[in-house]
Chain A
């Protein structure tokens, strides 16, 4: 690591830079250095829900080798993990546990919604027992489509996440300023999950062409 690539946007003339380097000093921004280190060591949670979990495991094995991107340390406990890969169908029985596990992860934490089921319910969307997307309860950073996505796609989604991590600002990012964020854990009430979604992270889509009911009847 040299100063020229640790501080791409710091205005330093070349002589000062080389002199500093000779003296063993590297000039960098805290944000840059922190995000560089953080993005290169994202530890995922060993969290398999359904079919996609097998492709997640495949991405960790020798052919695809997720350790090239620094994420080979799959942790079984949420308390040591940075990244939750929601790999598979989230049912209404499982959704409370998913949110609870996410709440237990320390900050900063990220979520990849892997596969069509985790994004929207996928092929099982019409089922009475399937949650129509995990983004109703927890904030999703990267959506990874596919049924199931290929292991290469898992690696690409990790690259996208690293790009996102590189843009984080430590001073203003809620992950660093608000302490450990807690999300509402839904409860299964026999008929449906209560609440049906967390309004802080997800709102039902609105169609601008359709007038609200009150306006239409008035």
Chain B
């Protein structure tokens, strides 16, 4: 699919002295180390310059929506983990919010706090992994990714202690959480959160003013504010293009109105790869602020509200969204009075952010197309579903 806004520049092939040139067509993927999974780009090249680019996906289409329409509401919860497999907790949250809108359930205080803690830990995991992979795409094979995964493991341990699984947590329930966190978990989390800024300092010192990163990312893959808004871009990518929009502030779902945090965004209209990289680095600092406040204020009490035993909502529609680490993740449910949803639709931030790939890549170099794709932050489980 191509975006309707951009057109390939007019192009004349060099023809002189009987020499005929033509465009080179390269198919990158689906097996390519820097396509972040099974994704293919059909690129047309003039020398090294990208003249046209068509993203091809669907290599990981796993029938998520269709499967969810054939099972009970709660049974889809583990499948939402596998949408965007870096951020299972925020996926859970978005789905739980949508279901809680269908049947009004009060979520206890402690569960709300734990939800915020889990979501912000997830944001840390996503952003450090993304930065690691992004620098990997730039050619720094290994080292930054190893640093990132070292920190990721600490948070994975916390998830495992709380939910029993490292990646596929399946931790949220309609009206609360599956189980309370074990004894001592909050202290361990405080320790991880307190140490995280040290790692960020080190990481920023290594990367943010690195000459190679600056020259490879500044002015590459620019996305203007107008295009970002009209293409429906959300999340860090939108804020990197200079729009102050964060659903945590706009909707204030859960208990986000209780926390004091800032939303980083650029004030110019450039929106290049460096901006997108920096926004994520800055967002991690704010996540730590939220985590510190949540861990300070968390009360005791129940962790699940009075949810009906058989979840059978009356015919209604509900759309709920959260600020996932990649953008606006929404779930749209239509209930028809049976225990199964009549329609189950996911609004995947990765897919919608990917639609501007062509606009950003045109007239850039082929090596930069890889960097631009890396800066969008896609996960194919969510793009294809």
Contact = CB atoms under 8 A, between A and B. Distances in A.
Tell whether A and B belong to one assembly. Answer: yes
Interface of A: 46-51, 53-55, 57-58, 61-63, 76, 78, 88-89, 91, 93-94, 97, 101, 123-124, 126-130, 147-148, 150
B271 interface: no
Interface stretch (B57-65, B109-117, B185-193): B57-65
Given A46-B33, A50-B37, A58-B149, A123 B66 contact: no
Contacts of B150: 61-63
Contacts of B79: 123
A126 B38 contact: no
Contacts of B70: 126
A214 B261 CA distance: 73
B82 A76 contact: no
B167 interface: yes
B31 interface: yes
A91 B30 contact: no
Contact of A124 (B32, B67, B168): B67
Given A128-B66, A129-B63, A50 B380 contact: yes
B381 interface: yes
Contact of A127 (B59, B67, B167, B380): B67
Nearest to A128: B63
Contacts of B33: 46, 76
A51 B38 CA distance: 11
A61 to B, nearest CB: 4
A84 to B, nearest CB: 10
25 contacts: A49-B37, A50-B37, A50-B60, A50-B62, A50-B85, A54-B86, A54-B129, A54-B167, A55-B166, A61-B145, A62-B150, A63-B149, A76-B33, A88-B60, A89-B62, A93-B61, A94-B30, A123-B82, A126-B63, A126-B70, A127-B62, A127-B66, A128-B63, A129-B62, A129-B63
B91 to A, nearest CB: 12
Give the 5 A-B CB pairs with smallest separation, nearest first: A127-B63, A51-B85, A61-B149, A76-B33, A124-B62
A126 B381 CA distance: 17
Interface residues of B, number: 32
Interface of B: 30-33, 37-38, 58-63, 66-67, 70, 78-79, 82, 85-86, 129, 145-146, 149-150, 152-153, 166-168, 380-381
A173 B45 CA distance: 45
A150 to B, nearest CB: 7
A150 B62 contact: no
Q: Which of B31, B59, B66 has the most CB of A within 10 A?
A: B31
A10 to B, nearest CB: 42
A63 B155 CA distance: 13
Given A49-B60, A97-B30, A148-B168, A63 B153 contact: yes
B170 to A, nearest CB: 10
Nearest to A57: B149
Given A48-B37, A50-B85, A97-B30, A91 B62 contact: yes
Given A50-B381, A127-B63, A130-B63, A97 B167 contact: no
Contacts of B152: 58
A78 B30 CA distance: 13
Q: Which of A46, A63, A126 has the most CB of B within 10 A?
A: A63
Nearest to B57: A93
Nearest to B37: A48
A62 B70 CA distance: 42
A46 B60 CA distance: 17
Contact of A94 (B38, B78, B85, B168): B38
B58 A93 contact: yes
Contacts of A130: 62-63
A61 B146 contact: yes
